[in-house]
Structure 1
Amino acid sequence: MTSLEEVVVTGEPAMRNRTDDVVPTLSYDLDYFQRFEPLTAGDALKRVPSVTFLSDVLESDGVRIRGLDSAYTQILINGERVPGANLDRSFFVDRIPAELIERLEVVRSSSANRSGDAVAGAINIVLRDAMSLDGGYVRLGALHWDDSEYGQWGGTYGAVWGGQVGPGRLLIGGNIQDRRNPKQKKSWRYDEPGAELNDTEIQSDVRDGTDYSANLSYEVPVAGGDLQLSGVFVRTDRVQDENSLEYNEGIEDADNLAKVNANPLDILTDNWSVNGRYEREMLGGETTFKLGYATIDDEQFEQEEELDVEDQVIEGARTRTNVKDEEIQAAIEHKIELSGGMELEFGVQYSKKDRDTSVFEAEAEVEDEPVFRALLDSEYEDFEPVDGGLNTIEETRIDPYIMLSGENGPAKWEAGLRYETTDFSITDETADADARTNDKDYGILLPSASVRWALSDSDRITASVARTVRRPNFDYLSPALLGGEYGDNDFIGNPDLEPETAWGADLGFERRLGRRGVFGVNVFYRDITDLIELTNTGEYSETALEDYEDAIDDGATPEEAAEELVSYVLTAENIGDGQVWGVEFDLSTPLDFIGMEHTGVFLNYSWLDSSVDDAFGERRFNSQSDYVFNVGFTQDIPSWGAAFGATYRKQGDAEGRIIGEEVVTQYGGDLEIFIEKQVASNVVLRFTGSNLLDSSKDETFNKFNTIQDQIDRDFDEYEIETETAGPWFQLVARMAF
């Protein structure tokens, strides 16, 4: 149970936990991050090994363990899967306020008693429960962003209390925090690399909103067992406001202004879940019953209006998007102690997903408009569903498992089998009538085994092997035809896609340093089969067929018109294999072994690599950074009741290639600092500064209209874009009671 002194100020450096888990797991209590006052789970995860993001500056949303796409990472909350609004099934961790967290766990390999959707690994966000706090605290703070003459201000407010209520223990908490991510972007566009500049675009991008969250947990003995009830609610209310000016030949004055664009996006996202868990001794062992419900409801309204100054035309588009994803989960699990110190665990886990998506769009075009203005409602057409934008998905999983574990001398081990069955159905009302509904079912056997071997009291080795799975993106399964989705190429989903599977291995060494320090090194390898990539169906796109007909109408012969048949209908298929590998180092220790017991340092570095073949040859997995590096320190001054520290983060370049586009992404370094002072026995003030190096995100885009153009390097456009943001600061007071 966390003491109130630890909630307010730790008084000594906070280090990574050295867990007792057999499966290689890195565990970080909240006090490891808290001094830097992260706003979200994503902000906290920036400091752990092998975690990268492909987000905008100041954003930490889609976790990419080992640099792989977010869909390869399993996000768990209290050990259970949670639905996300994204098409690749991923969950944005910036939806979870850091104030709800008790600890974060990076689980590098799989066990039979957990979902196998974790090719790269899993992030388990463990929330505070009724047993984690005795007493309460209040958090009040001010935030400042440097994006105007006098800056912008916001607030953060929270309170948590835990204690005895009736026969059980209760924890209840709430949090409100302002979020603002102001960024500036600039783009330079050319016909091809080395050509003369065509135009520049200057853009402001401000994401402004408020997060609301509440959590409750109650634990009580019932009928000889223990009952735990919990609930979490998180609301994200945000406006993303993008405005841009485009100038001919990069001459940025009124005479060369070419386009004016306004693109506000309103987002309202509600995540909530309720869970019940009951444990009791029965049937010669311990039985656990679980029942839970989780949902995400994501509503977005986007409006984009653009003035073409030369043609004096304003074009507008409004898009209404709603995604509601609900999951019911249940499980029965039983553990039995066997002879020889072994334990047998078996059970069955059930989940039922219902996902409804609706995307409607209305367009407008007004001529003879020499200046930019907001279009009227009457100037828009009626809302109509977009292609692929009106679908329902049902997915039922029944996953039995069995696992045996034990301890023999210096070795602690576990081995198990999990069989995941999936019954999937997708219906898209915008697809052809004879192909709107598609069903698929499959089963996958997922073995796993791990061992931890103690070489001494300080040194140990961990080894794991496991088979894991990645299910296809929802948009890759939709039978709707999407025009011009990749350059001039159309796209149609493939409901017959098989899931990707992977065999993976991890081998690690860990050494205890002094009383609380830890050093670790881990090597990993993943061999992924049935890899899903874009392929060419060989059918011509709607654009190609229209261009062909136009050429015939203009008097061309069929042979001459055939030169217009250069773009196709693409689809997604299981095309082959891919490999991922790397080495991960991490160090977290106080310097008490050299007499500096109040100084703590942490450092982690991950070298990442991979290989996959696509239509154009060999490449890495898309957007996998080649490294990620973190270093930091904390210094306590007990005689002053004060502390300070800093952390620096840098991730390597990431390259991505799909049909129609190739992109290289580079990030600048990120520096954060904190200073804290205990002003009373139960009150601490903490000042933090983030993004102190004005970090940038720099991208280079190679764009092509057709597959052959991409092979021949015949560019449609070559673009360089840079995005920057200034520092932001917090002043937070925490008071325990």
Structure 2
Amino acid sequence: MNFNRRTATLLIWLLATAQPGLAAPSEVAPEVHVDAAAVTGEERLIASQPQTAVNREQIDNLPSLRVGDVLKRMPGITTGGAIGEDKDIRLRGLDKEFTRIRVDGFMLPDAGEKREFQVDRLPSFMVEEIRLIRNPTAEYESDGLAGQIDIVSRPIPHKFKLEGRLGYGGSDAIDGDMLHGALSFGMRPLQHFGFLASTDALHDAVSREREKMFTNGKMETETEHRDKDFVSARLDLGLFYDRGEVRLKPLIHDVDEKKSKVKFNLEPGKKGKREEETEHKEQQTAGLELSHKHNFASGIILESRAGYHQTREEKEKRKPSFEETAVGSNLYVLKKTDLEEEEKKDRTLSFATKAVIPFHLGLAQEARVGASARLRERYRDKTKLEQNPAGSMSDKTGPKDNYSLDEDYYALFAQNEVWLTERFSVLPGLRLEHVRLDARDGGDFSLGSSRTDLNPSLHLLYTLRKDLTLRGAVSRAVNRPKFDELAPYEEEKGDRLVRGNPDLNPAIAWKYDIGADFARRDLLLGINFFYLDIQGVLEEVGTGVEVGGKEVYAVRNVGNGWNAGIELEQRIGFGWTGNPLLAGLVLWSNQTLLDSELKTAAGSKQPFKDQPDYIVNVGIDYTYQPWGTTLSTAWNYVAKTTENKADGTRKIKAADSSVDIAVYQKVSKNARLFLEGRNITNRSKVEQEYFMDGSSSRREESIGRTWLAGLEVKL
């Protein structure tokens, strides 16, 4: 089914479920409760699902240019990507493919093959709150078995509000390698109309060095320089009436990245090799979102939202390779040049509607029912060429490099929270999800498949006392396959043929959480135990079929395992002391202990890839009101990880530790100066590999410290 026809189908559904008209002006609207309200402190006590959050105040007082800077300090989260980027999010020690990220209720498309969303593209300046949802209710999409990140943008202010920020900095020095500017202003100039306009721009230039040493004397060195420009803009237009609101939100996120890299490969007794790589990548995500909320006099709330989003990525890469004319000559000649061009496009049309129905049938209850749909169209067009020194070209494009997919997602859900007593509620739920896939290779060959999942959930909440709650949750979650694994390709790799598999099923997990939260004005304590029973993890295995003397390999749902851990949180303020010197002091920390086991098709057992044993975050925030001075620091520690590869290689990533600091000084009622430092301990990433032949290697990567100084204004 083509995208236009699927779009028409969804629009017909949207019209069929349209909301009622404006309420009569004489009616008195009840208070509107927003699902995205903060769950920190006392409000966290009433949350039915296990979750935690960071609010705007916490974001403001630590170095947090991008959303990834915020997320890496939350419990159970590690970040991936090159050092200093913090763009790929990993929950509970699992790979990025097991996490799903939503922005204002929408899962935005991205260019990554693992369905991840790179959060370094999102400026934290535009964010009001970030919630980590550990075990979602049936109201939320089931995809993403590690958990979900829910990002909520800033609301439209009632009165005129303007915020601006200008920063100047760099790596190891304040030299202009980093520039940041942001502006946000909005208000409700009329009773029934309001707006918020925001923009954020960041230039970041980073140089990094990598060095890899082998026990046999071989050495690899690499120097990389990257210039990255981010530009984001968002507009929120609101039409308000007595019993509800209509919101229209256009948005755009642009990234322009230029990268250059020089790599040397030196080995005793052999000719040296050198590679010089340049890459230019442009990526843009643009969208238009429409939402409507209506509150009936009966207390029923009806909400709907629709959105169109498109991500496009274009990348050009050039890599000439050189070799020494003789061993030790230090004279290099060109051997070949690899050329690569790639375009990816991913566009989605989404719609969701739900009704929140409070009622009393012997017991106080709140039912929620709803439906959603997402039509997705994605393609990748990649060309790889090899040019010899004489200028002739050969095509190295592989069958996996080009594909297109249509993925249609439809869902229905129903849940009902029942208060058996004033203190104890039970929330059963059921979510039905149907996914239809049409996958095509780079030519005319196509295959289709469909799957329906019925995912139940049960959440329990018990208020032991007004400041202490206990909760438990169990749910069935899925994890849908990588895009490129669904393409119907066949590729020759050495002694094997590798085939894509459009019939792949998602991995399935039964998730169990049990925990407690204690919250008072100056104290928050949280503990959560979790266990994930995971079936059908994707793994490339031999099929036993031979074609032309080569065995056929394919990705299949053959891995089974479990993932478990403990998540702890503490936050204490000292306002209760009554001492002016201590009133502005807040100490916070979180710790996550992790363990897992994955049994492969070959029968081996090992932890999930790159899972640390524990993660620790510690922070101190201090504000001295008489001077208008705020000091903050945060320490992040991720324990070492071990990976046992199929070829017998053992890779160990050393523990990763970093410290960020910030100083803010008010210079007037509406302005403050700031100095922010990231990675002030100048951490490096270290990897060691141990090979089957007894040799080993050590790789170290560093980028130095980052400083940013500037001025903030709030009116």
TM-score by length of 2: 0.88
- Distance in 2 (CA, whole Å) between partners of 1:491 and 1:592 is 63
> Could you tell me which residue of structure 2 aligns to residue 307 of structure 1?
322
* 2:33 corresponds to: none
Q: What SS is found at the alignment partner of 1:44?
A: helix
Which runs of structure 2 are paired with 1:545-560 in the superposition (5 Å)?
none
Matched, 1:525 2:531: yes
| Matches of 2:395 and 2:539, distance apart in 1 | 33
Kept after mapping to 1: 8 A contact 2:260/2:278: yes
Number of residues paired by the alignment?
660
Deviation at 1:60, TM superposition (A): 0.5
Query: Residues 97-496 of structure 1: matches in 2 within 5 Å?
Result: 97-131=123-157, 134-146=160-172, 153-166=177-190, 167-189=192-214, 196-197=216-217, 199-221=218-240, 225-249=244-268, 258-281=272-295, 285-310=300-325, 312-339=333-360, 340-366=363-389, 379=391, 381=393, 385-407=397-419, 408-429=421-442, 436-484=445-493, 490-496=497-503
Moved more, 634-643 or 578-587: 634-643
Looking at structure 1, the residues matched to 325 and 556 of structure 2 have their Cα atoms a distance apart, in angstroms, of 44
Q: Could you say which residue in structure 2 is the equivalent of 1:601?
A: 587
Deviations 1:200-239 (A, max 9, x none): 1211122211100011111113595421111221101111
1:80 corresponds to which of 85, 93, 106: 106
| C-alpha spacing 1:20/1:299, structure 2 compared with 1 (3 Å) | farther
Counterparts of 2:539 and 2:706 in 1: how far apart (Å)? 40
Alignment of 1:657-676 (within 5 A): 657-660=644-647, 662-676=650-664
Cα 1:73–1:679 change in 2 (3 A) is same
Pairwise CA distance, 1:286: 2.6
Give the partner amino acid of 1:292.
G
Matching residue's letter, 1:511:
F
The one-letter code sitting in structure 1 at the alignment partner of 2:562 is: Q
The Cα offsets for residues 77-130 of structure 1, whole Å up to 9 and x where unpaired, read as: 012222221111111111111111111101110111111113111111111132
SS, match of residue 436 in structure 2 = strand
- Distance in 2 (CA, whole Å) between partners of 1:318 and 1:528 is 41
Residue 49 of structure 2 is aligned to residue 26 of structure 1: no
CA distance in 1, matches of 2:618, 2:271: 45
Separation of aligned partners in 2, 1:244 and 1:121: 38
1:637 and 2:624 matched: yes
Conservation of the 8 A alpha-carbon contact between 1:266 and 1:302: yes
Contact 2:63 2:660 survives alignment (8 Å): no
State the SS of the aligned residue for 2:431: strand
SS in 2 for 1:328: strand
- After superposition, the C-alpha distances for 1:369-398 in whole angstroms (9 at most, x for unaligned) are xxxxxxxxxx36276743212211001011
Any conservation in 2 of the 1:200–1:249 contact (CA below 8 Å)? no
Which amino acid in the other structure matches residue 346 of structure 1?
Answer: V
Query: 1:504 pairs with 508, 511, 522, which one?
Result: 511
Which 5+ residue runs of structure 1 have no aligned equivalent? 1-13, 191-195, 251-255, 368-378, 546-566, 704-712
Contact 1:59 1:181 in 2 (8 A): no
SS in 1 for 2:69: helix
Contact 1:644 1:675 in 2 (8 A): yes
Q: Secondary structure at the match of 1:110?
A: coil
Secondary structure in 2 matching 1:31: helix
Look up the SS of the partner of 2:393 in the other structure: coil
Name the CA shift for 1:461/1:723 in 2 (closer, same or farther; >3 Å).
same
- The one-letter code matched in structure 1 to 2:263 is S
Alignment RMSD (CA, Å): 2.4
CA 1:131–1:418 in 2, change beyond 3 Å: closer, same or farther? farther
Going from structure 1 to structure 2, the CA distance change for 1:205 and 1:257 (only over 3 Å counts) comes to farther
1:597 Cα offset (Å): 2.1
Give CA deviations for 1:307-343 in whole Å, capped at 9, x if unaligned: 0114744211111111111110112222222213212
Question: Contact 1:592/1:599 (CA < 8 Å) preserved in 2?
Answer: yes
Residues 54 and 529 of structure 1, relative CA distance in 2, 3 Å threshold: same
By how many angstroms is 1:71 displaced? 1.5
Q: Please tell me the residue identity of whatever aligns with 1:473.
A: K
Decide which moves more: 405-414 or 468-477: 405-414
Report how far residue 534 of structure 1 moved. 1.9
Query: CA 1:113–1:649 in 2, change beyond 3 Å: closer, same or farther?
Result: same
The aligned amino acid for 1:181 is: V
- The equivalent position to 2:571 in structure 1, one of 588, 609, 626, is 588
Q: Secondary structure at the match of 1:475?
A: helix
Secondary structure, counterpart of 2:177 in structure 1: strand
Verify the 8 A CA contact 2:386 2:393 in the aligned structure 1.
yes
Q: Secondary structure at 2:626's aligned position in 1?
A: helix
- SS of equivalent residue, structure 1 residue 572: strand
Equivalent residues of 1:679, 1:685 under 8 A apart: yes
Structure 2: 5+ residue stretches without partners:
1-39, 327-332
2:621 and 2:244 map into 1 onto residues whose CA distance is 43
Superposed counterparts of 1:613-628, under 5 Å: 613-614=599-600, 615=602, 617-628=604-615
Contact 1:180 1:206 in 2 (8 A): yes
In structure 2, C-alpha distance between the alignment counterparts of 1:215 and 1:133, rounded to whole Å: 19
Paired residues of 1:129 and 1:218 also in contact (CA < 8 A): no
Hey, what does 2:97 align to over in structure 1? 71
Check conservation: 1:88, 1:473, Cα contact below 8 A: yes
Structure 1 length-normalised TM: 0.85
The amino acid across from 2:410 in the alignment is: I
Q: 1:17 to 1:410 in 2, by over 3 A?
A: closer
Task: Give the CA deviation at 1:632.
Answer: 1.1
Cα separation, partners in 2 of 1:204 and 1:131, compared to 1, 3 Å: same
Q: What is the CA–CA distance in structure 1 between the aligned matches of 2:454 and 2:158, rounded to whole Å?
A: 37
1:575-604 alpha-carbon deviations (Å, 9 max, x no partner): 142100001111112133455221111111
What's the CA shift for 1:572?
A: 1.1
CA contact (8 A) 2:169 2:177 kept: yes
Greater shift in the superposed pair: 307-316 or 680-689: 307-316
Q: 1-side partners of 2:519 and 2:297: how far apart?
A: 40
Which residue matches 1:572?
A: 555
Percentage of matched positions with identical amino acids: 21
Residues 611, 641 of structure 2: 8 Å contact kept: yes
8 Å Cα contact 2:542-2:552 kept in structure 1:
yes
Letter in 2 for 1:505: Y
Shift of 1:670: 0.3
